[in-house]
Amino acid sequence: MSDRDASPQPQAAEAAERRRIQRFLGQRRGQPYLWVTIGSERVALRDISVDGFAIAAAAPPAGGEPFDFVLQREGVPDQIRGRAQAVNFIAASGQAGCRFLVLEDDGAERLRDWLIALVIMNASVRISEKDAAAIVAGPSLI
């Protein structure tokens, strides 16, 4: 199939699929907590999931081409390195959504651990690690 034969519906279906995965704000107590470094620029994450992240951006990172990144937590020396690609860009809100293509080494496992810890830290009620893991792995609650 050529590019001109492709309809916008498969892309819309793909976007809907991504949005079924639980996302988490990149903040803790209203302050940036999760960061991504792309090239030499460090940007606070708007949100993150096991599949990708969103950032404030005036244009898609790397012009929409795959790019290397480093994820970091505020005040923690641990890093997750990988490769991602912008899959959507909303000019009106200045937001780019990026999908992970590769997480190096044990990055996927460590990312899940980071998200579980974030759920537990931000919970307004006591929550077990098992319940937090189910939230991270589950569908969007919003």
Kindly report, residue by residue over 11-20, the tens digit of the pLDDT.
444 444 445 6
Task: Using pLDDT thresholds of 50, 70 and 90, give the confidence band for residue 141.
Answer: low
pLDDT, tens digit, for every residue of 21-38? 788 888 888 889 899 999
Mean pLDDT score, 121-128: 87
134 burial (CB, 10 Å; 0-12 / 13-18 / 19+) is middle
Mean pLDDT of the chain: 84
The residue with greater pLDDT, 137 or 7, is 137
Whether 47 contacts 26, CB under 8 Å = yes
Please report the domains of the chain, with CATH numbers, ordered by start residue: 13-137 (2.40.10.220)
pTM: 0.79
Mean pLDDT score, 35-62: 94
39 in the Ramachandran plot: left (φ > 0), alpha (ψ -120 to 50) or beta?
Answer: left
